Amino acid sequence: MHLPGCGQHQDKRDTDGVFDAFNLTISATKPKRLSSSHYFGCDGFFFIALDPAATGNTHPSQTHQHPSTMASLSKSDMEILNQVIDDERGAYRLRAGQRIYYLFIATDVFEEDTMCRPYLLIPSLPDLPDSPWTTATIVRGADGAPFISAISTDPLPEIQTVWHERRIDVLSLRRTRRLRSWTHEVQYDGGTAVAKIACFEWDLRRIERETAAYHKLTQHRSQYRDEPPIAPEFLGHLTENGRVMGLLMERIDGERACISDLSDCEALVRRIHGLGMIHGDVNRYNFVVDRAGTECVRLVDFEHFEDFSEEAATEELLALPAELAEDTGRGATAKVSGS
């Protein structure tokens, strides 16, 4: 997908298919305008406001200057996996070898094209220490050169609802297809699964909710094996540098629901309500109908899950006919170039 104001350059480092750099990050608020020709960010990145707490460093006094004598990470081993940029700074998720680091770079440090394009940014970075730090801040020095103003080793926020016995390192998964921002089909255990990650703090809440929802669904499934499944199987927690920051699910095949599936979809939503849950987003693209096999309907995307209330349940059921008749594509999988 080509966005206004952006060239069609591709990241020259995106060769191994493991969570590549060009993820689409969408803010719930309107992106800031950088200039008349850059309402959107470059190569599929929206400009969004970054919350200072998203650094994971809530104790700035614990940061320290980069020692000039420390060994540096090899730039040839670096890969920018995700990035978001606003008009004050860029936030980058950087892979170097088998570790992940987070960079925060003021937007006056490099030219706009450099900030947007990993294959230009990486060679321009100052030397980064080869040590287990988590976040680094890069600013422009008095001489105009970039330098590291602070580095933190503080642990980053993580998912708190950890209940499954299996943890999978996200870097061990090879991406095969992008579905949405932070959501990919990946190769796992000889097959295909769906990985959802939250690397910045503003994404953690949605993954936290979805992980909690799957905990309830898995507990119910273990007690009532004869019932048709409500959702894909939860395969395990995804980790990054040891912290839990995502989930891995079974990939299920089928078609999106339409108005003719209303009775089946309503029955499924009522089953969820019976478990004390509100799905929170019953758009037609979150229902997967297996028309070729069992005619089973399942729900996905529990990011807006909340505890049951009569008012919310009534609203969810009343909204269902309009949601299933909707044909604008709202809620559909994002179509991104290369996916």
* pLDDT recorded at residue 294: 73
Q: Which of 23-27, 75-79, 330-334 has the lowest mean pLDDT?
A: 23-27
Contact between 185 and 171 (Cβ < 8 Å):
no
* pLDDT recorded at residue 326: 87
* pLDDT recorded at residue 30: 33
* pLDDT recorded at residue 330: 58
* pLDDT recorded at residue 40: 27
The residue ranking higher by pLDDT, 107 or 42, is 107
**pLDDT bracket for residue 17 (50, 70, 90):** very low
DSSP for 25-57?
---SSPPPPSSTT-SS-GGG--B-PPPGGGGS-
Pick the CATH number of 167-325 from 1.10.10.10, 3.40.640.10, 3.30.2010.10, 1.10.510.10: 1.10.510.10
Q: What are phi and psi of 319, to 5 degrees?
A: -80, -15
| Gyration radius of the chain over CA positions | 21
* pLDDT recorded at residue 63: 45
Does residue 231 register a pLDDT over 60?
yes
Mean per-residue pLDDT for 149-157? 95
Condensed to tens digits (0 to 9), the pLDDT of residues 254-313 reads: 999 999 999 999 999 999 999 999 999 999 999 999 988 776 899 999 999 999 999 999
The CA–CA distances, whole Å, from 160 to 208, 244, 276, 298 equal: 7, 8, 21, 26
The residue ranking higher by pLDDT, 155 or 11, is 155
Does residue 333 register a pLDDT over 80?
no
Mean per-residue pLDDT for 214-242? 97
What distance in Å separates the CA atoms of residue 22 and residue 42, rounded to the nearest whole number? 10
Condensed to tens digits (0 to 9), the pLDDT of residues 108-120 reads: 999 999 999 999 9
Annotated domain spans of the chain: 42-152, 167-325
Condensed to tens digits (0 to 9), the pLDDT of residues 157-179 reads: 999 999 999 999 999 999 999 99
3-state SS class at 7: coil
* pLDDT recorded at residue 332: 55
Mean pLDDT of the chain: 81
